[in-house]
A = this chain, B = another copy of it.
Amino acid sequence: MKSIILFGHGARDQEWAQPLIRLQAVVCKRLPDTDVRLAFLEFMAPTLDLAIDSAVQAGADHVAVVPVFLAQGGHVKRDVPNIVEAARLRHPKVVFTLRPALGELDRVIEALAEGVILG
């Protein structure tokens, strides 16, 4: 089983997670055979390492971590690779993939621009 973990920053305000929950729902619908989970850097649960462990426990042999960040700052560049590296050591039989921040993708920049222009 493949697992995709959508990893966001998190916030004190619970409403903050709504777009991530919507994103999870859209991805789940398009990839019905993939386990799609959320994880957060702070303020919200679960953490990324807990989400990885749960995915592996549920049978994932491939875990893709997708940072749902607009840009790569210190969190995405330093913290996330360390968390994924530690998970590799805990789960040596599982293949881990760490993807770039979604906001870096051309298709996302284009959609943001359309959002600015068209609302």
The answer to whether B117 touches A70 (Cβ under 8 A) is no
**1/0 contact string of A72-114 vs chain B (CB within 8 Å):** 1110010000000000000000000001011111011111111
The count of identical subunits is 2
The answer to whether B111 touches A111 (Cβ under 8 A) is yes
Chief secondary structure at chain A's binding surface: helix
Task: Please pick, from B23, B30, B116, the residue contacting A102 in the complex, using a CB distance under 8 A.
Answer: B116
The answer to whether A23 touches B71 (Cβ under 8 A) is no
A68 near B: Cβ within 8 Å?
Answer: yes
Measured CA separation A52–B113 after assembly (Å): 20
Task: Please pick, from B8, B12, B17, B23, the residue contacting A116 in the complex, using a CB distance under 8 A.
Answer: B23
